[in-house]
Amino acid sequence: MPAPYCYDYPRPMVAVDLAVFAWTGDGLRVLLVRRRNEPFAGSWALPGGYLGMDESPEEGARRELREETGLVLPGPVEPLGFFGDPGRDPRGRTISLVHAAVVGPGDHPIEGSDDAAEAAWKPADADLRLAFDHAKILRAAGRWLMDGLRDGGLAKALFAGEPPQDSLVAIRRAIGSLEANPSAS
């Protein structure tokens, strides 16, 4: 009988990443971690890592978020899509199952831990060189956020009620900046 997980064809690695947005008085923020290890040591990235064999993609995304930032999301986490272009990870063929979420107003303390040297709420429209293809993922997450704001559901979660019109305009500008960001991975 063959050993478990031994096959004649190559098998990609499966990762989970999570784009988390928050609104502060300073604008739209996204939660990023500074990578402690290679590849891309010292670069900013979305929280994420490899999916465990006994967990769902959502469970894996929530676990990685908790391990790397200390943040536990009380609200929903929505599947955003998968990203799997060959060469996106120099360690080998990796497909990432990406989720997205928003956190409402309030204090959301975070601290880099595990393989994240640092965690920070960064301006969503900052011109950061993100690791892997995370700039591409962040643009997709921005479109997800805009769709959710149009529907109204994410606006209520992000602002805990009806959002001020000027805040929605600022979010649209930030997401527009993401779309125009030349730092695409």
- Give tens-digit pLDDT for 108-142: 999 999 999 999 999 999 988 999 999 999 999 99
Residue 100 CA to residue 107 CA, distance in Å, equals 19
CB atoms within 10 A of CB 157: 18
- The reply to whether 2 falls in a domain is no
Catalytic annotation present for 179: no
- The reply to whether 3 falls in a domain is no
- C-alpha of 88 from chain center: 15
- The reply to whether 56 falls in a domain is yes
The answer, yes or no, to whether residue 160 has pLDDT greater than 90, is no
- The reply to whether 8 falls in a domain is no
SS (H, E, C) 75-118: CCCEEEEEECCCCCCCCCCEEEEEEEEEECCCCCCCCCCCCEEE
- The reply to whether 140 falls in a domain is yes
- The reply to whether 40 falls in a domain is yes
> In the prediction, which pLDDT does 1 show?
58
Q: Which segments of the chain does DSSP mark as H helices, in order?
A: 57-69, 134-151, 153-159, 165-180
Q: Are the C-beta atoms of residues 66 and 72 closer than 8 Å to each other? A: yes
Domain of residue 153, residue span: 13-180
- The reply to whether 5 falls in a domain is no
Mean pLDDT of the chain: 92
The answer, yes or no, to whether residue 181 has pLDDT greater than 80, is no
Q: Which of the following is catalytic: 38, 111, 118, 179?
A: 118
Q: Residue 103 belongs to a domain with what CATH number?
A: 3.90.79.10
**pTM (predicted TM-score):** 0.92
- The reply to whether 162 falls in a domain is yes
Q: How many domains does the chain have?
A: 1
